[in-house]
Amino acid sequence: MFVRSELDRLGFRGISVEVNEIDTGEELTSIQFDQLRAVLQQAGIEFFENKKDVLVQRIKELIKEVVYHSEEPLVHNLSTYLAEKLNHEYTYMSNLFSGAQHTTIEKFYIWHKIERVKELLLDETMTLTEISYRMHYSSLAHLSNQFKKVTGLTTSQFKRQFGEHDLPPED
């Protein structure tokens, strides 16, 4: 509703506003485009100019949703999940993502999984075995090895170093 009212205020009529998408139906002048960008950015709304940028953002959102908000394990592997959810070939999405983010989808996914594991370790309400199960690792050893590879620390070293309420700085 905010976006719609701001567009109306700027005199943009007949523009379709959907979740995550604004369709002008026609080419905007550079002045109109700059006005639209400024209004959205001022409201804290991330602005993407093309569908490829939107697809990369959706990939990131889905990965974060799976890692931080899903209790259920993936029915398929990540590539199949993303391809089904976004209706694109995984190879296309992978190449697009790597070009835009300078990392692979898999590395992005693993990094977020490890960030979530860190949160759960510091919360101290779950055992490492429970965390491993919740984060859908095939084994405790797999989690431990991946954690050490990404952070350079074992899970025990991490807990000692960043103990209670002393969270590591965000990147």
The average pLDDT across 36-54 equals: 76
The dihedral sign for the CA sequence 122, 123, 128, 132: negative
* Residue 17 binned pLDDT confidence (cut-offs 50, 70, 90): low
- Which run of H or E residues covers position 109? helix 105-123
Q: Which residue has the higher pLDDT, 11 or 150?
A: 150
The whole model's pTM is what?
0.71
Q: How confident is the model over 96-150, as pLDDT tens digits? A: 999 999 999 999 999 999 999 999 999 888 999 999 988 989 899 999 999 999 9
Separation between Cα atoms, residue 103 and residue 109, nearest integer Å? 10
**In the predicted model, is pLDDT for residue 171 greater than 50?**
no
Q: What is the pLDDT of residue 30?
A: 77
147: closest CA among 134, 162, 157? 157
Q: How confident is the model over 29-42, as pLDDT tens digits? A: 778 778 777 877 77
Which domains can be identified in the chain, with CATH numbers?
A: 2-42 (no CATH), 51-105 (no CATH), 109-162 (1.10.10.60)
Q: How confident is the model over 75-92, as pLDDT tens digits? A: 678 999 999 999 999 999
